[in-house]
Structure 1
Amino acid sequence: MNLTSETLDAIAGLMRDAAKQEILPRFRKLGDEDVAEKTEASDLVTIADTGAERVIKAGIEKILPEAFFIGEEGVAADPSLLAKLKDAEMAVVVDPIDGTFNFAHGISAYGVMVAVVSRGETVAGLIYDPMGDDFMIAEKGGGTWLKRADGSSSKMKVAAPVALPEMLGTASVAFMPNEKRAKLMANTVKLRFAASYRCAAVEYRAFAAGGLHFITYFKLMPWDHLAGVLIGQEAGGYIARYDGSPYRPDHLDGGILGAPDEESWRELREKVFTL
């Protein structure tokens, strides 16, 4: 499936509109009644999440009326929707606010993520930063581009490989089995820096821009990773599941690890992320 530049621009405009209407006006202005827990205290949903998803869904129905829509909050209400992604001829997968915990606590590390999937393959990914009003956009085979509000754009490229002790990156360990977490955290002393910004949208953008040498996650909900993985790959990065297999839209576990190249990926997998 080939998406036109006009279609991608329309999706980007829709993401910006949702942010202007539902997200930015509520940033640092949420009341207690505007925030709710989903599965635990760190898993939150806000009125901005549900409002933004509603705006994006209505817009996608006009831009790509044939597409099956999967939003994080829609799946929270009806989990059966998730199983339909694998067989969808075309689907649009949306995270209306990635980094809701940050957003709800007034931390400006959050973003809006949209992926377009065709026959089980991610063909386009967009990550919008409402605070900076710019996008990272990738179409399969077309590279990754930073597109700014003034209309200018720059092609993204991941960092050059470096030695293990010089690697900077992020490791999300929240959903890692407890008995393995201590080992992984101990292994990160082999690296220069390992952190978590609690926001895949921010981390994937930093990776694609060359600011991180590695990223890793253990829970693979599609709205968190489809857009970012394509953006990282199209920027030249090597991203695969922990068993070395390619990440696909229907994968919900198995973890993923990204690095500047395959050699760096294998060194990280063997010496640091040895699960």
Structure 2
Amino acid sequence: MTDSLPMPISAPLTPAQRTRVLNLVRRAARAEIMPRFRALSADDIAQKTGPQDLVTEADRRAEAMIARGLVQMFPNALIVGEEDASQNADIIAKIAEAEMAFTIDPVDGTWNYANGLTQFGVILSVTRFGVPVFGLLYDPVMDDAVVADEVGPAQMLQPRRAPRTLSASAGGEVADLAGFAGLYHLPEAKRVAMAATFPKFSRAMSLRCACHEFRMLAQGHVDFVLSAGLTPWDHAAGALIARRAGCHVAMLDGSDYRADTRDGYLLAAANLATWNRLRDLWSFLSE
């Protein structure tokens, strides 16, 4: 896979470090994720909080492999993996104080993965005192990645091709918009009102996979992503990548998103005007 063009010295990771991190993710996908895809036994799949919240042997093994590699490369960094954090929730609070932290979602879209659907990916971010500064959204099936850092544009990296700079859509009026917004993570009392807004759009949907939803947004294929149930491993990378692709990204109340944010709603939209229209439409969520 071709890495991105050389970045300025102030980039959070050097070009060599970016290559090493991406190659680590690729190796974990090849060793632990893809061999188990559509080959999981019942014993390889477990529920966490319920039947819609799954974990597989691939999640556990890929996270362990990526975490080990990151510790070797960045021994002083805080490593926050989804599966480790499910047993050690207090580690999330340490993100705000960490000069360098990595967040890992080893198989984002685990329900899709466990059910044989290809909409899954690996998400990795780097944060600095809680602020996302590098993001990687990797597709193990296609072996490509969408990446960005705080000083460069969002890019698509594909094998044997030059990096391609990504740009958000032009946005527009609500009736012309397509994007991602789900009901699963919303409070039950808000779901009916939220569902009633979906017919106002050209298309509103959910892939059950933040990795691919933010990839679609950064490429300009959709106009917005609304996220609830915030976790640093699901949303930090996508929030940064969307912003570097030209989107307006903020919490629904207008405040800045941080990787240690757990409450509220993260809205990423093609531009500020589109973001404001969506904020107005969904203002009831914050009431």
> Into which bin does the TM-score normalised by the smaller protein fall?
over 0.9
In 2, the alpha carbon distance for the partners of 1:43 and 1:184 equals 22
Q: Does 1:251 align with 2:277?
A: no
Q: Which runs of 5+ in 1 are unaligned?
A: none
TM-score by length of 1: 0.98
2:36 is matched with 26
Q: Does 1:61 align with 2:75?
A: no
**Could you say what secondary structure the match of 2:97 adopts?**
coil
Of the three residues 188, 196, 202, the one matched with 1:186 is: 196
Whole-angstrom distance in 2 between the partners of 1:172 and 1:42:
13
3-state DSSP class of the match of 2:123? strand
2:233 is aligned with 1:223: yes
Task: Please state if 1:47 is matched with 2:57.
Answer: yes
Residue-by-residue CA offset, 1:33-78 (whole Å, 9 max, x unaligned): 0000001100000000000001101110122111110000001122
CA distance in structure 1 between the aligned counterparts of 2:175 and 2:109, rounded to whole angstroms: 29
Who is 2:157 aligned against?
Answer: 147
RMSD between aligned alpha carbons? 1.1
Q: Which runs of 5+ in 2 are unaligned?
A: 1-9
Residue 238 of structure 1: how far off its partner (Å): 0.6
Q: Tell me whether 1:169 sits opposite 2:179 in the alignment.
A: yes
| 2:199 alignment partner, SS class | helix
Aligned to 1:212: 222
Counterpart contact for 1:187–1:273, Cα < 8 Å:
no
Equivalence for 2:211: 201
Please say if 1:90 is aligned against 2:100. Answer: yes
Identity of aligned residues (%): 38
The match for 1:271 is 281
Q: Distance in 2 between matches of 1:33 and 1:203?
A: 29
Give the match's secondary structure for 1:137. Answer: strand
Hey, what's the Cα distance between the residues in 1 that align with 2:90 and 2:173? 44
State the number of aligned residues. 275
Select the residue among 161, 170, 185 that pairs with 1:160.
170
Give CA deviations for 1:7-28 in whole Å, capped at 9, x if unaligned. Answer: 1111100000000000000000
Alpha-carbon distance, 1:89 to partner: 1.7
Give the stretch that moved more between structures: 4-13 or 149-158: 149-158
Maintained 8 Å contact 2:134/2:150: yes
Quote how far apart the aligned CAs of 1:272 are: 4.4
Where has structure 1 moved over 4 Å in runs of 4 or more?
none
The residue aligned with 1:129 is: 139
